[in-house]
């Protein structure tokens, strides 16, 4: 069965609650595309008003992060139950900004992956190399490690539902998109890694996105690649151009 594309916006630390509702209302008519799952991953404080504003549309709501404990004395964190109760379906885990600025490790991300599945949240697990690693020729070794540790202990059924976002760090927010060949090569390598860890059926089912300066001009070529099942989009997700990205196939 063909994999359904998934195109997700990562709003990062942008948009107050009232700005968020305005943006949803602007984008709502532009992002209808039955052939793709469309997800808006928004700041925690925007989740409730965005979920309300998205009602009746094809937009699904995602979070940008989540903690791996159920509840308790973890000041400032957000629990999976809170997300589910607010109408969240997807959660980005292990974004390179979380790894880089907030010290998240592969082991933390693995705990979050388990917790997400316990609550029927679909994780969008990010991985990706730095420019230095690419130049050193260790891109695939590094990403395989991120994927293997991130997925440790998850069943094949869980892995089939997960989404992996391949996001080379040097391409995020830099305006420097990876070439379609570079993106396809790594996404294929990730699928091969999943086949090794699980089996061919799991590798065939899992959705792998590309992220890193995707825009309306680059989306169609990227998403047409055999192993690229959509995108995780930062900057361009805050603009009407996101409608063109979602409708890359029209
Ligand atoms: C991201 O933050 O996940 C991302 C891909 O950002 P941008 O599209 O702005 O590079």
Average pLDDT, the chain: 97
Predicted TM-score (pTM) of the model is: 0.98
Atom 6, ligand 1: residue with shortest CA distance: 234
Domain that holds residue 194: 5-246
> Residue 177's pLDDT is what?
85
Ligand 1, atom 4, lies closest to the CA of: 234
Percent of the chain with pLDDT over 70: 100
Residues with CB under 6 A from ligand 1: 10, 12, 167, 172-173, 211-214, 232-236
Quote the pLDDT of residue 67: 98
pLDDT band at 5 (very low <50, low <70, confident <90, very high): very high
Enter the tokens of residue 58: 């094809």
Catalytic residue among 97, 104, 129, 167: 167
pLDDT at 1: 63
- Mean pLDDT, range 222-228, rounded to an integer: 97
Answer yes or no: 114 catalytic. no
CATH of the domain at 214: 3.20.20.70
The pLDDT of residue 189 is above 80: yes
pLDDT digits (tens, 9 = 90+) for 120-173: 999 999 999 999 999 999 999 999 999 999 999 999 999 999 999 999 999 998
The number of residues in the chain equals 250
How confident is residue 84, by pLDDT bands cut at 50, 70 and 90? very high
Catalytic annotation present for 95: yes
Q: Give 155 or 1, the one with higher predicted confidence.
A: 155
Residues 135, 202 contacting (CB under 8 angstroms): no
Statement: residue 74 has pLDDT above 80: yes
pLDDT at site 91: 99
212 conformational bin, left if phi > 0, alpha if psi -120 to 50, beta if neither: left
How many structural domains is the chain composed of? 1
CA of 212 to the centre of ligand 1 (A): 5
**Test site for ligand 1: of 8, 12, 14, most ligand atoms within 8 A of the Cβ:** 12
Give, using CA atoms, the residue closest to atom 7 of ligand 1.
234
Looking at the CA of residue 165, tell me the nearest atom of ligand 1: 3
Q: What is the mean pLDDT of residues 16-38?
A: 97
**Set 64, 70, 95, 135: catalytic member:** 95
CA 96–ligand 1 middle distance (angstroms): 10
């Amino acid at each position: 069965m063909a994999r359904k594309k998934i195109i997700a916006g990562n709003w990062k630390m942008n948009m107050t609650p009232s700005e968020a509702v305005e943006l949803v209302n602007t984008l709502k008519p532009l992002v209808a595309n039955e052939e793709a799952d469309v997800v808006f991953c928004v700041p925690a404080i925007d989740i409730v008003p965005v979920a309300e504003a998205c009602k009746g549309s094809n937009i699904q709501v995602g979070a940008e992060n989540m903690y791996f404990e159920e509840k308790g004395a973890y000041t400032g964190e957000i629990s999976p139950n809170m997300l589910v109760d607010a109408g969240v379906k997807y959660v980005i885990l292990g974004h390179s900004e979380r790894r880089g600025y907030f010290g998240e490790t592969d082991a933390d991300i693995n705990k979050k992956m388990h917790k997400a599945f316990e609550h029927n949240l679909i994780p969008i697990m990010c991985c990706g190399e730095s420019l230095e690693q690419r130049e050193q020729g260790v891109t695939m070794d590094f990403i395989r490690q991120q994927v293997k540790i991130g997925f440790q202990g998850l069943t094949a059924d869980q892995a089939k539902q997960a989404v992996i976002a391949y996001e080379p760090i040097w391409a995020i927010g830099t305006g420097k998109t990876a070439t379609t060949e570079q993106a396809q090569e790594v996404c294929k390598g990730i699928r091969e890694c999943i086949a090794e860890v699980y089996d061919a059926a799991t590798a065939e089912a899992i959705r792998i996105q590309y992220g890193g300066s995707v825009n309306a001009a680059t989306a169609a070529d990227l998403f047409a690649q055999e192993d690229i099942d959509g995108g995780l989009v930062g900057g361009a997700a805050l603009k009407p151009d996101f409608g063109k990205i979602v409708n890359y196939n029209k």
